[in-house]
Amino acid sequence: MSYDALPAGELAAVVTYLEMHAPPAGEAPASTLQLSRVREPTAAQYRALFRKVGAPWLWFSRLVMPDQELEAIIRDPDVELFEVAAVEAVVGMLELDFHEPGQCELAFVGLVPELSGQGHGRWLLAEALRRAWREGVTRVHVHTCSLDHPAALSAYRRAGFTPYKRAIERFPDPRLLGILPSDCAPQVPLLGTDG
């Protein structure tokens, strides 16, 4: 076994890639939440949703993209973005990417942490798969990392995904760069500060 020290201010995560080649069987669980398609989102609208759902897990990739590049992705006809709402509050997101012929990537799936443990995540994943498995799709894939919600990997496996690859991702801590607030993701110690 070996350990590689990370430079000050850097984080590392183990990324697990998962896939399925046939729709899962079974009924989708019920939820009081609603999915609604977001058509032609602006970069600012998307970033607000992305930050709300992803900041607790240090999602930052879409926060640092130039507006034009981000809008090219989220307004692409092969990308479908959904808001998850409870009554009138937006509490989650789903982004499906159909760029690769015959495939769908669950690009981003998430709910605000306050909804953890209530079964809504299972419902959202079932809804994602129902929308992903359309005519012509033969593979649905997703990836998660060790910084995501602790139940993410087991939820994907329970839904029928099979892991097929792992990688190590290294990146500057987005809290130290001012991309995310220093108090988000308290489960990941903030190193490299003087305070």
Task: Say how far apart CA 80 and CA 103 lie, in whole Å.
Answer: 13
Residue 84 C-beta-side C-alpha neighbours within 13 Å: 24
**CB neighbours of 106 closer than 8 A, spacing ≥ 6?**
94, 95, 96, 128, 132, 140, 141, 142
- Other CB atoms within a 10 A radius of the CB of residue 170 amount to 11
Whether residue 195 has pLDDT greater than 60: no
Whether residue 116 has pLDDT greater than 90: no
What's the pLDDT band for 192 if we cut at 50, 70, 90?
Answer: low
Task: Say how far apart CA 59 and CA 84 lie, in whole Å.
Answer: 18
Residue 64 C-beta-side C-alpha neighbours within 13 Å: 13
- Other CB atoms within a 10 A radius of the CB of residue 125 amount to 24
Element (H, E) at 125: helix 120-132
What's the pLDDT band for 118 if we cut at 50, 70, 90?
Answer: confident
Task: Say how far apart CA 60 and CA 194 lie, in whole Å.
Answer: 23
Helix-strand-coil split of the chain, %, nearest 5:
25, 30, 45
pLDDT, position 86 = 87
Which residue ranges form the domains of the chain, and what is each CATH number?
13-23+32-172 (3.40.630.30)
What's the pLDDT band for 155 if we cut at 50, 70, 90?
Answer: very high
Could you tell me the strand order of the sheet in which 34-38 lies?
34-38, 79-86, 89-97, 103-111, 139-145, 10-20, 162-172
CA-atom Rg of the chain in angstroms:
17
Average pLDDT for 161-171: 97
